[in-house]
Structure 1
Amino acid sequence: MRSTRVAAAPLLMLLLSGCVLGPDNTPPEISLPAKFAEGSKSTNGDVAQTAWWTAFSDKRLTGYVDQGLGQNLDVLQAMERINQAQANVVSAGAGSLPALDLSSSASRSGSKDIGGNAGAASATDPRTSVSGGLSASWFLDLFGLYRRSKEAALANLDAAYASVDVARLSLLSNVVAAYIDARYYQERIKIAQDNLKSRRETLNLTKLQLDAGAASRLDVVQAEGLVNSTLATIPGLETQFRTASHRIATLLALPAGSLVTEMQRGGNQPTARFSPKSGVPADLIRNRPDVRASERQLAAAVANIGVAEAQLYPSITLGGSITPSYVKSGKAEAGLLSWSFGPQLSLPIFDGGALRANLSSSESAAREAHLAWKQTVLDAVEEVENALAAVARDGRTVAALRNTVKSYEEALQLATASYRDGASSLLDVLDAQRQVSTAQESLAQAVQQMAQDYVSLNVAVGGGYAVGKPAPAKVVVAAKN
């Protein structure tokens, strides 16, 4: 019977070594509609390498985007977090591997009588001591403590890779948005300068009519007021233009003022040359890096349940050591070799409920991570729906405002001609100038908004973040239609 028990012990340990506690991670699911409210039923496929910003046909913008993807500091910081996560994977799995430590020490001691000191201790011969030690230990991961730890670390590594993609997508959004803003403020400055020229011409005409007795001092003062109010708007617009240019430079990891001169060379307001595709809601689970990062964080949280559960069970560590020592004192010398080997058992019996509380906390964290994943998916769907609704209507707004500008410009021409002929008052001209200015500013703002909504839609569907680098492996997660 004794030999049977001895033979069965390694078999039992082998069986236990394959036991991994805690739930296995399964892809989360969420119910999503078959299509967006204002989208089509055709899937987008992989849009990670779609350079959607080239639709603006702006070489300077494309150059800024390429430069930012290569040197943006937020992206580089996210890449450093990948290195940290890779190191954590090694650290998480190291505890289940055998450990070997080597140590050694040496010393020489003695005492010498230097004379004249009757109470001093007797002199001793020099003594040389040398010792060493070799110790080994191996934690038997019977319940998957370190296997689950490494599983969680690998999931966090995947999340770190996805976080780089999140940073790249955010960079695309910020650079293009800042560029659109800069061009918008340049357009506003141009409108203000054109209006200033027109209003100065009106002021000069009014002064001539005042000299001819066909206008009053009140007319001149009103015309001067409109000129000065136009002058007052230009500095603020110039400040906004510089602020947007500074933002672009900072995103490109350059000093803030680096691009102002280059941006001042001018350019038209960006307008997309083709319409973006929204795909279907299920595409977001594959294409949105923030959704993938959230899913990997959920996987790590599930693995941590197994780590917490394994801590409730006994742990066995096999250990051993060899310690040689050598001592020489005078002509006498001696050596000793000692060794030890055996298992160490640790069994948690009473800990005041700390381990159970840790398990409950891990389970709650996993449920929270699952809810966070659902929230991330639903937020992504909302962003696409909002952007789709805006993009579908922006064109109508811009077209109507273009017609409005044409109408008011014609009205201004007629009012000015009538004023020159003395058939209408200066007030009609000033009102017409205000209407033209307001309509032009509204048109510029609508063009800006149309471009920003185009950016928002492409970012919302997760497009373009992998341009310039190989597309990372995607996590396939099920979605219910």
Structure 2
Amino acid sequence: MRRLLLFVAVSAVLASCTTVGPNYQRPADAVIARTDANSAFLGSQNAALAQTAPPSEWWKLYKDPTLTALIEQTIKTNTDLRVAAANLARAQTNLEYADSSRHPEVSMSAGAEYARFSAEEKLVPTEGKALPNSYVYSSGISVAYQLDLFGQISRTIESAKADLGTAVAAQDATKITVIAETARAYMDACSTGHEIEVANKVLGIQARSTKLTQRLFDAGRGTSLDTTRSSGQEDQIRANMPLLYAQKRLALYRLAVLTGHVPADFSQTVAMCKTEPKLSVLLPVGDGMTLLKRRPDVRKAEYELHSATAKIGVLTADLYPKVTFGASLGSVGLASHFLHDDTVSFGIGPLISWQFPERDRLGARIRGAEAEQQAVYAKFDGVVLNALRETESALETYARDLDRQAYLKTALDKARKSAKDSETLFKLGRQSYLPVLDANRTLATAEQSLASVEGKILLDQVAVFLALGGGWEPDTPAPKAIIVQDPLSKSTKSVDADVTKK
């Protein structure tokens, strides 16, 4: 027994400055550390793109006051952001709970009663007589402090800090998503409004064409085929209108819910919108390095890896003895003898506990935690690869839709000229009205296709900004902040303490 105590004492002295378990460092072979992951994007050479990093409030590049106001309202009232704020507050509470382990635990007790004790229980000879009834009291205070000899408390706090960083990153990811969804819903409503305007214009032209063919038929200069064909084209255009109206209404409903309103309480200003917002500058995209530093999901994945690494140390510390220093002071006795010397007791000294017989079970738990860390590491690499894929895909889609827009503009110019020439030839009597109908149908298709792709390009731009991960960065630091170390760099991130306590 003496040897065991001596071994424990020596181990405690030798390990007084030891924190067991691995210290977190970003793996050298992580995908995020690769040169090709931090280089320029393949799709960034397009003339419509700029190599500069996007600003935090990218939506202000459209210089649209309505869009800016809607996003500001979303940030204040969106329900998903409220959930994320509550999760952040919970993570902050967990950190505070873990941090409290560094401080001594103090407990106090006090009580009084009118009682009679059992003579047999107290081993007091009374020759069969009962002990007298009396007023008794008890009071005491105890203090216990666990020495963090092997860093279990430190590792627990480290893991809780990483979990807080995870919650911060999750809130940021939610923020950029709802901002992008708000912009997408607004642009969808405006672009659909523009498509409806184009469709009404085309419908008006086609309606006039139908009336003209009917007059020509009545005058004996046309055929019933021309009249029927023109009327059919008009009905086909009308058939597309309900779809456009429904698409706009659904966009208005999405926008209302994103800004914290019931669907019926959608913005009447947006409902009247017929002009899409336009970027005032080339779309800024930056490069892979700035992307991976900015994406909240990448930051979240690395915080999770940091937390999983710290948890290995928490379990490893269970292999070693725990030393707790305690002190107690109390008084128990008759109320008439309150705090007399013979009622006072005290104690002071260490308490050593060690789960030595359970080392096999603890070893299994440690190996399980190490396997979990490797799984989280693989997830981290996957998140980085997915971030790069999403960005490259968004840029490629945007570039191809720009090409399509250019082709459609050329096609529209040719369709307008063809329609004008067909109308002229018909008026000169050099052809029937059938070629005019064909030319008008081609013109209508070209105008509607161009309006559709222009709306698609707006949504492509939002998809690029979302993939780039901007929109969560605060403009100014909060006056009260919890500093969380960013594992992606040597910088820190401030978390508004007021937000976490709401």
Is the TM value for this pair above 0.5?
A: yes
The CA distance in 2 between the partners of 1:261 and 1:439, in whole Å, is 30
What amino acid does structure 2 have at the position aligned with 1:463?
Answer: G
Structure 1, residues 60-97: CA drift from partner, whole Å, max 9, x if none?
Answer: 11221222233322223222222222211121132342
1:102 aligns with 2:101: no
What amino acid does structure 2 have at the position aligned with 1:94?
Answer: S
Question: Partner of 1:288 in structure 2?
Answer: 295
C-alpha spacing 1:467/1:257, structure 2 compared with 1 (3 Å): farther
Secondary structure of 2:356's partner?
A: coil
Please report how far the alpha carbon of residue 140 of structure 1 lies from its aligned counterpart in structure 2 after TM superposition: 2.0
Between 1:349-358 and 1:164-173, the stretch displaced more is: 349-358
The CA distance in 2 between the partners of 1:335 and 1:92, in whole Å, is 40
Question: Partner of 2:75 in structure 1?
Answer: 69
C-alpha spacing 1:464/1:172, structure 2 compared with 1 (3 Å): same
Question: Partner of 2:41 in structure 1?
Answer: 36
Between 1:358-367 and 1:271-280, the stretch displaced more is: 271-280
Structure-2-length-normalised TM-score:
0.81
The CA distance in 1 between the partners of 2:85 and 2:13, in whole Å, is 40
C-alpha spacing 1:39/1:220, structure 2 compared with 1 (3 Å): closer
Structure 1, residues 357-378: CA drift from partner, whole Å, max 9, x if none?
Answer: 2211211122122222222222
1:26 aligns with 2:32: no
Q: Pick from 163, 166, 174 the counterpart of residue 167 of structure 1.
A: 174
The CA distance in 2 between the partners of 1:251 and 1:353, in whole Å, is 53
| % identity of equivalent residues | 28
Question: Partner of 1:381 in structure 2?
Answer: 388
The CA distance in 2 between the partners of 1:134 and 1:313, in whole Å, is 29
Question: Partner of 1:60 in structure 2?
Answer: 66
Question: Partner of 1:346 in structure 2?
Answer: 353
Secondary structure of 1:311's partner?
A: helix
Q: Pick from 374, 378, 394 the counterpart of residue 367 of structure 1.
A: 374
The CA distance in 2 between the partners of 1:362 and 1:413, in whole Å, is 75
Between 1:9-18 and 1:457-466, the stretch displaced more is: 9-18
Please report how far the alpha carbon of residue 284 of structure 1 lies from its aligned counterpart in structure 2 after TM superposition: 2.2
The CA distance in 2 between the partners of 1:43 and 1:395, in whole Å, is 15
C-alpha spacing 1:213/1:378, structure 2 compared with 1 (3 Å): same
The CA distance in 2 between the partners of 1:124 and 1:256, in whole Å, is 78
The CA distance in 1 between the partners of 2:114 and 2:141, in whole Å, is 22
Say whether the 8 Å CA contact 1:286–1:475 is kept in structure 2: no
Between 1:393-402 and 1:243-252, the stretch displaced more is: 393-402
The CA distance in 2 between the partners of 1:303 and 1:269, in whole Å, is 50
C-alpha spacing 1:426/1:107, structure 2 compared with 1 (3 Å): farther
In the alignment, structure 1 segments of 5+ residues that lack a partner are 111-121
Secondary structure of 1:95's partner?
A: helix
Between 1:52-61 and 1:18-27, the stretch displaced more is: 52-61
Between 1:123-132 and 1:230-239, the stretch displaced more is: 123-132
Between 1:404-413 and 1:83-92, the stretch displaced more is: 404-413
Please report how far the alpha carbon of residue 125 of structure 1 lies from its aligned counterpart in structure 2 after TM superposition: 7.6
1:410 aligns with 2:417: yes
Question: Partner of 1:79 in structure 2?
Answer: 85
Please report how far the alpha carbon of residue 303 of structure 1 lies from its aligned counterpart in structure 2 after TM superposition: 0.7
The CA distance in 2 between the partners of 1:410 and 1:286, in whole Å, is 51
Q: Pick from 307, 316, 322 the counterpart of residue 315 of structure 1.
A: 322
Q: Mapping of 1:57-206 within 5 angstroms? A: 57-108=63-114, 127-206=134-213
What amino acid does structure 1 have at the position aligned with 2:35?
Answer: L
The CA distance in 2 between the partners of 1:347 and 1:11, in whole Å, is 15
The CA distance in 2 between the partners of 1:447 and 1:45, in whole Å, is 24
Please report how far the alpha carbon of residue 236 of structure 1 lies from its aligned counterpart in structure 2 after TM superposition: 1.7
Structure 1, residues 139-178: CA drift from partner, whole Å, max 9, x if none?
Answer: 2222111110001111121222222222222122211222
Say whether the 8 Å CA contact 1:285–1:477 is kept in structure 2: no
Say whether the 8 Å CA contact 1:272–1:454 is kept in structure 2: no
Q: Pick from 186, 209, 212 the counterpart of residue 219 of structure 2.
A: 212
In the alignment of these two chains, the number of paired residues is 458
Structure 1, residues 365-406: CA drift from partner, whole Å, max 9, x if none?
Answer: 221222222222222222222233334444332122112112
Structure 1, residues 305-343: CA drift from partner, whole Å, max 9, x if none?
Answer: 1001111222222334333223369xxx99733344443
Say whether the 8 Å CA contact 1:68–1:252 is kept in structure 2: yes
The CA distance in 2 between the partners of 1:37 and 1:123, in whole Å, is 95
Please report how far the alpha carbon of residue 44 of structure 1 lies from its aligned counterpart in structure 2 after TM superposition: 6.6
Q: Mapping of 1:255-266 within 5 angstroms? A: 255-266=262-273
The CA distance in 2 between the partners of 1:467 and 1:89, in whole Å, is 23
Please report how far the alpha carbon of residue 195 of structure 1 lies from its aligned counterpart in structure 2 after TM superposition: 1.7
The CA distance in 1 between the partners of 2:189 and 2:396, in whole Å, is 25
The CA distance in 1 between the partners of 2:450 and 2:279, in whole Å, is 16
Structure 1, residues 105-133: CA drift from partner, whole Å, max 9, x if none?
Answer: 223358xxxxxxxxxxx999864332223
Secondary structure of 1:282's partner?
A: helix
The CA distance in 2 between the partners of 1:157 and 1:416, in whole Å, is 70
C-alpha spacing 1:12/1:44, structure 2 compared with 1 (3 Å): farther
The CA distance in 2 between the partners of 1:99 and 1:43, in whole Å, is 58
CA RMSD of aligned residues (A): 3.3
1:237 aligns with 2:244: yes
Structure-1-length-normalised TM-score:
0.85
Say whether the 8 Å CA contact 1:108–1:129 is kept in structure 2: yes
Say whether the 8 Å CA contact 1:135–1:320 is kept in structure 2: yes
Say whether the 8 Å CA contact 2:53–2:287 is kept in structure 1: no
Question: Partner of 1:51 in structure 2?
Answer: 57
Secondary structure of 1:190's partner?
A: helix
The CA distance in 1 between the partners of 2:196 and 2:275, in whole Å, is 12
C-alpha spacing 1:123/1:419, structure 2 compared with 1 (3 Å): farther
Secondary structure of 1:445's partner?
A: helix
The CA distance in 2 between the partners of 1:16 and 1:352, in whole Å, is 19
Question: Partner of 1:458 in structure 2?
Answer: 465
Structure 1, residues 441-474: CA drift from partner, whole Å, max 9, x if none?
Answer: 2212221232222222233233333254449975
C-alpha spacing 1:14/1:282, structure 2 compared with 1 (3 Å): same
The CA distance in 1 between the partners of 2:50 and 2:287, in whole Å, is 5
